[in-house]
Structure formats: C-alpha cells, structure tokens
C-alpha cells in the first residue's frame, strides 16, 4: 500500500501547499493563491503528503478538442526525490487523464529541470516543442506520449 496520502486542494491549507510545491519547482512562474484557486476549478489538482510532510503535487489538465489531449504533470520536492514518489504521482495523474477520456497525453517540463526531463523521457514521452513564453529566459519543453 502507498505510504502517501493524497488530497485535492479544496481548503486554504492544501491550496497553499500545492502553491508552495509549484513555486519552488517553477520559480520563473510563481502563482498566487487566486491563480491556484482558478486552476483548481478547471484542472484536477492533488497534493501528496508523507504523514504530515508535504511531498509533491500534480496537475491534470482534462482532454481538449478533437484530439482528446490531456496534460499530466507530477512535481516532487527535491528532498523526497528518488524514492518512487514521482512515479506514483505521475501514475495517478495518468489514470485520471485516461478516466477523463484522454486519447493523447502530454507533459510539460521547464528545461532547467533535468530530473523532470529525464523522468519524462524514461517514461516514453517524446519532445514535441521547445519555446520561450514572453519574458522567459528558460525554455519550456512540451512532450507527448506515443499512442498506446
Ligand atoms: C519528475 C519528478 C516528479 C520525479 O520525482 P521523483 O520522486 O524523484 O521520481 P521517482 O523517485 O519515481 O523516480 C526518479 C528516479 O528515481 C529512481 N528511483 C525510484 N525509486 C527508487 C529507489 N527506491 N531507489 C533508487 N532509485 C529509485 C527511479 O528509477 C527514477 O530514475 P530515473 O529518473 O533515472 O528514471 C521530480 O524530479 C520533479 O518534480 N521534477 C520537476 C517537475 C517536472 O519537471 N515534472 C515533469 C515530469 S511529469
């Protein structure tokens, strides 16, 4: 059985925990609590804890348009990496995306996140696009899982 406890960020404490993980891992795009609340309304978000300790968070953007493309992103705080938690978070996100009817699954990694890029490539994702958002200096990488 998993050691982790998962929670959807439906109260202020869990919203703040999701925000903390996001902003530590993506310092170039810090989100406000209102930003996180807005995302919680349109995406499936989860926060993961080991006991009371914050471990990571996930984002599943539901399938869009006729391609039924969903996006799954797992994030684990550095001190908790390399213990299989990322795989567990990602697996839950992937299951959720499939339940929501995704035919195609993508992820997005900040190119400076070496761990994230290696993790995605090892799980079969293939780079499809590298781009800078306005004001950015570090490129984002979109990756896609080949069809099953
Ligand atoms: C990607 C990310 C979520 C992985 O988190 P993690 O908890 O380290 O993931 P895991 O522990 O499941 O796997 C990481 C590595 O540890 C290894 N590992 C897992 N359990 C292990 C164990 N018990 N002992 C030794 N190694 C282990 C895995 O084989 C894996 O190796 P790999 O990266 O060479 O494939 C984390 O690095 C992260 O948050 N990155 C930034 C966010 C990001 O870019 N996310 C996009 C990816 S969807």
Q: Is residue 2's pLDDT more than 90?
A: no
- Are 138 and 110 spatial neighbours (Cβ–Cβ below 8 Å)? yes
Domain boundaries, the chain: 4-144
**Residue 31 neighbours by CB under 8 Å, 6+ apart:** 19, 22, 23, 39
Q: What is the DSSP letter of 78?
A: G
Nearest to 48 by CA among 23, 79, 77, 70: 77
Confidence of residue 136 (pLDDT cuts 50, 70, 90): confident
Give the nearest ligand 1 atom to 90 CA.
48
CATH of domain 4-144: 3.40.630.30
User: For the whole model, what pTM was predicted?
Assistant: 0.95
Nearest CA to ligand 1 atom 24: 83
Q: Report how far ligand 1's centroid is from the alpha carbon of 88 (Å).
A: 10
């Amino acid at each position: 059985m998993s050691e982790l406890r998962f929670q959807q960020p439906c109260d202020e404490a869990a919203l703040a925990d999701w925000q903390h993980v996001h902003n530590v891992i993506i310092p170039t795009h810090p989100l406000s609590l209102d930003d996180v609340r807005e995302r919680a309304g349109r995406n499936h978000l989860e926060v993961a804890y080991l006991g009371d300790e914050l471990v990571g968070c996930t984002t599943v953007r539901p399938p869009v348009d006729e391609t039924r493309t969903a996006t799954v992103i797992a994030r684990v705080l550095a001190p908790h990496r390399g213990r299989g938690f990322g795989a567990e978070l990602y697996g839950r996100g992937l299951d959720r995306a499939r339940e929501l009817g995704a035919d195609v699954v993508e992820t997005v990694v900040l190119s400076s996140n070496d761990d994230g890029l290696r993790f995605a490539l090892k799980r079969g994702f293939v780079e499809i696009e590298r781009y800078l958002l306005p004001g950015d200096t570090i490129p984002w990488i979109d990756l896609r899982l080949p069809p099953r």
